[in-house]
Amino acid sequence: MYKVVILIEQQDGLHLETQWPAFLRLAEAMPGLQREATSRVDRLLYGDCRCGQMHELFFNTLADVENALASPQGQATGRLLQQITGGRITLFIADHKEDEMENIRKFTQPNQKTSGVVNPPDVIARNEAIPDVLDPPDVIARNEAIPDVLDPPDVIARNEAIPDVLDPPDVLSP
């Protein structure tokens, strides 16, 4: 699953609030949209982000994202988003993965001392007990076996295939 993530800087006044329903109507008309989510930032724990709100638009494939952004509805959505935020946004596409804790627990390594489930603080205290997970030289050695995932030129080459979708002036010009 892929998503378009919109980080909206903190806004003064009610302009964003009054125009948000119009933005949602346009965004929800984009072809291929599967679901959406809005999160209002409650507090900043670390970093310099001045984000007040995050909105996510979920699609099944990267091609669905590209088609949605290039569509008339996507173009209109981008123009309105620029207008109501004054361009104070960060926009990116993300490859979205998620899992439920019930499923994750099925794959948790047993604790070597007690044969129970690994307690995360215990894992941190016992770095040496699971070096394949936490030992950086071992991680680097394993990465060499999968260069297609980690090789930056490969990533850049794939991105070059879709510049018209990733070019913000084309997507979000007023």
pTM over 0.75: no
Domain ranges of the chain: 2-98, 101-150
Report pLDDT for 91.
94
The model's pLDDT over 47-63, given as tens digits with 9 standing for 90+, comes to 888 888 999 999 999 99
63-76: average pLDDT = 96
Report pLDDT for 66.
97
What CATH code is assigned to 2-98?
A: 3.30.70.100
Residue 53's contacts (CB-CB under 8 Å, 6 or more residues apart) are: 7, 8, 16, 38, 39, 40, 41
What distance in Å separates the CA atoms of residue 169 and residue 98, rounded to the nearest whole number?
A: 31
